[in-house]
Every structure is written in structure tokens, then in C-alpha cells.
Amino acid sequence: MVKTLLNAEGRETRKQKYQRKNRSYKMLFWLMLAGVWIAIIWLMSSQSYQQQNIQPWLQRLTKQVHIGVTLPDVHLFYNGHEYSLRERPYAFVEFLFRKTAHLLIYAVLAVLIYGSLRYKRVRVITCITVALMFVAVIASIDEYIQQFSPNRTSSIWDVGVDLIGGSCGISVYTGIRALLGRRHH
């Protein structure tokens, strides 16, 4: 009865204080993970193209595997460049690998920012907006850094790919959370 009166007066119970404090620690943890993730992104951006080139590895792999098929004539156009599966298969596969990496890396970043805000019980639309704005800013800085790395180029198109990755990451994360939430009820 006394506890009920205290709550009616607007005071927090010990459990409520603990839960609020625990949410703050979880948010801080997620934000620290996001900081580490950003450092990894920028570290990779500062590497030269030669340090990240997977084409030599692909060539060694295909010599060991002996793929004896004729490749289809698939062409992709991106940022003023043409990628042909038949004419330059290693460059084509590397292009797909790099764009997939963009999607995944920024999906993780968006989820880390989104998740940290959700621990503070910020509205969902605000969490999504802030997370995607964060992705746009970090991706833009990432592309700027790449200008100074040997044989690397920066592209506004990659920022778009990163935003798509961030949006997909948040969608998958919220979908999984919703599915897991339904199972526990």
C-alpha cells in the first residue's frame, strides 16, 4: 500500500530505477560497438586497392577447382564503369563482393545505432531516421577518406548502396525481433 502511494506521487520504485539504469548501460554498450564498427570501416577505407583486391585469390581458387563452364554474357553498369562476367569474370565477382560488403557493413552499423536508441525507448520512426542519417554521414566520410587511398575511388553511388544496406539491416533486425517476440508470448 505504501509502495502504491509512492508510485501515485510520481516516484520511481527500485525496480524501475534498475530497469532505467540497465537500459542506459545497454545503450552505451551498443554505442561503443558502433564506435568500434566505425573505426573498422574507416580502417578498411584507408587501405589501398591492392590491399583489398580479391582477384588474385579468385584466380588461384579457380585454377584449383577447374570450373569448365562457359559463363553467361552478363553486364553491369555502375558509376560509369561496365562489369562483364564473360570478359572479365574476376573483376565482375570482385565488384559484386565489394557491393555486398557495403550492404552488410552498413546494415550492421544501422542496426547498432537503431538498437541503441530502442533501449532508451525512443520512438521507432525516430530511431530509423537517426540510424539512417548516421549511416549517410559515416558513409559520406568513408567515401571522402577513400579519395586519399591509392587506386581507390569515391562515389556518391556507394553512399546510396550503404543507405540501402542500412535500411535492409533495420528491416531484418526488426523482423527478427518481432518473430522472436511472438514466440515468447
Tracing cell 559484386 back to the chain, one arrives at 96
Q: What is the pLDDT of residues 81-118, one digit of tens each?
A: 888 888 888 888 888 888 999 999 999 999 999 999 98
Q: What letter does residue 149 receive in the DSSP assignment?
A: S
Distance (Å, whole) CA 99 – CA 76: 12
> Average pLDDT for residues 129-136, to the nearest whole number?
97
Q: What is the pLDDT of residues 51-65, one digit of tens each?
A: 777 777 777 777 665
Q: What is the pLDDT of residues 33-54, one digit of tens each?
A: 999 999 999 888 877 666 777 7
85: Cβ contacts below 8 Å, ≥ 6 apart:
71, 72, 73, 74, 75, 92
Q: What is the pTM of this model?
A: 0.76
The helix, strand and coil proportions of the chain, stated in percent and rounded to the nearest 5, come to 75, 5, 20
Tell me, what's the pLDDT at 6? 47
Q: CA-CA distances (angstroms) from residue 103 to 28, 39, 60, 162, 169?
A: 25, 17, 26, 6, 8
Band of the pLDDT at 158, cuts 50, 70, 90?
very high
Tell me, what's the pLDDT at 20? 64
Distance (Å, whole) CA 43 – CA 161: 19
Supply the mean pLDDT for the chain: 82
